[in-house]
Amino acid sequence: MMTYLYISNYALIRELELQPGEKFNIITGETGAGKSIMLGALGLLQGKRADIKAVGSPSAKSIVEASFRPAPEIMADVAPILKENDVEADDTLVIRREIHPSGRSSATINGVPVRLGVLSEITDRIVDIHSQHQNLQLNDPAFQLGILDDMAENSALLDAYHKAYAEYRASLLKFSRTRDEIERTGADADYLEYQLNELRKLDLSPDEESELEQLRDTLSSTGEIAEALASASQLLSWRPGNATELVTEALGSLRDASNLSEEYAPLAEELRRVRDSLDSLAETVAAKTRDLRHDPKELAEVERRLERISALKTKHRVSTVGELVELRDSLEGRLAALEDSDTLLKSLEQHARGLKRRAVELASELSERRRAAAESLMAMLTEKARPLGMENLRFEIRIESGKLNPDGSDTVEFLFAFNKNQEPAPAGGRASGGEISRVMLALKAVTAHRRGLPTIIFDEIDTGVSGDVANRMASLMADISRSSQVLTITHLPQVAARGNTHFKVYKEDDETSTSTHIRMLSPEERRSEIALMLSGSTKDPSALAAADTLLKISD
């Protein structure tokens, strides 16, 4: 159930706090006081689109926060979603939505940021807000199917079907794409073979282009390299006065000095090592000079290969040799698959047929359970709705099975007849607003326990009724509150008198603005409020007496 609601800076609401009771909560107030504004704020917790116009003061953000304490079975149901989004929870969920003046919104569950889709997944399981707009759902096939599945307790079976259907559709798509690819490959086989042979002849490796470019640069610079090496070799050991001769001469002088004094022996030894290194380096440079060759044919061959590689890259619209190698491997795979295409397609087709059989089996089981649930729902809804001033109500559910679809193989249609001389037909265009409201209330009464909704909020679901029907609708809402927390916005004193907790929404003016507030009524205030709803006065003795009678009946 919802234990706490906080709203700030939202439309006419500056700041509002509400702590509803566990059972039947009544919310009353004059038209325009702001009751529907509260519902709009609650809708934000269901992940609905935020309207920047709803932000009260542009200097602050709007905040809507509610605490819920769902039953253990509901917490077990949402636990995987919470875990997937790193939300920790024991027995309480604190759901918060913020709307910034810029229009940006954010959402958290127990302080952890979540996407609006996650917010919706969670709140759809813990609160049901029935607004006037929701009456239109009575004609929605998806809503009707959902009601049947709730009645049939099909949750686990639906999960299994959804998985089987998704696997079947994926396998069918794979078969179709593979078949189309094989057909295209078959039509272009000769050209693909030509392309493959062209790539095979080059015998490419992924790093070949960079290696060839490096070799080309080296071959192109052979003359300059030879000239530099020759110059270095001459300076080291070839021409008169070369480095080797000079170092050797210096070494002789140091040796003479060391013969006269041991102090200079280390210097002579160090220069000897330098002379030996210089000799080795001179030999290496000379060898490099001898080995260096200028081969115009090799350079031309490298250039030709690079040109062929460049032409193929342009032809196949790729930028690297690695991509050409991938293309070659892909062509080999496609042509190999073509050779074994009959076997491959047969295997994929058999796999898809097997998955379809499994999906059909589950869809058939769903249909059987839905048909059984439809019989129960028709009887139970009629039993709940007839006392609400619909003595002639006839309710039928038409189920037709056909091709597989994401929710089975069934199409569902709810049909109603409200008068004796009518044949059952869809409610749209035939039923009045009051009749649809009463049918929806009866439907909620039948399904509330099965759906396991901890909190149900009704927004003037009693619109268009009065007298004894209002009393009966109040009784039905009170019955629902025995298993679910109920919050009802109402203008009917008969309904208001049946509540366990009564709140009043009202507006106050100051020098610059109008704001909406809410407060829980004391027993005496509640008596006056019901009298006001009856006669427009809180002091009318007959209205007060009538209020006492209604409150006594509710007790």
User: Could you read off the pLDDT of 18-28 as tens digits, one per residue?
Assistant: 999 999 999 99
Q: Which amino acid is at 275?
A: R
Q: Would you state the pLDDT for residue 168?
A: 96
Q: What number of helices (H) and strands (E) belong to the chain? A: 18, 14
Give the list of residues 6+ apart from residue 36 with CB closer than 8 angstroms, or none: 459, 489
End-to-end CA distance of the chain: 23
Q: Would you state the pLDDT for residue 202?
A: 83
Q: Report strand pairing: 485-489 vs 24-28.
A: parallel
Q: Would you state the pLDDT for residue 452?
A: 65
Sign of CA dihedral 69, 73, 78, 84: positive
Q: What is the pTM of this model?
A: 0.66
Tell me the per-residue pLDDT of 91-139, one tens digit each, with 9 for 90 and over.
Answer: 899 999 998 888 888 999 999 999 999 999 999 888 888 876 666 778 8
Q: Would you state the pLDDT for residue 134?
A: 67
Distance CA 38, CA 504 (A): 12
Distance CA 2, CA 227 (A): 91
Q: Would you state the pLDDT for residue 428?
A: 73
Distance CA 382, CA 416 (A): 10
Q: Would you state the pLDDT for residue 208?
A: 84
Q: In which residue ranges of the chain is pLDDT below 70?
A: 132-135, 185-187, 223, 292-295, 337, 429, 449-452, 554-555
User: Residue 93's closest CA among 203, 209, 1, 189?
Assistant: 1
Residue 171: alpha-carbon gap to chain centroid:
24
Alpha-carbon Rg for the chain in angstroms: 43
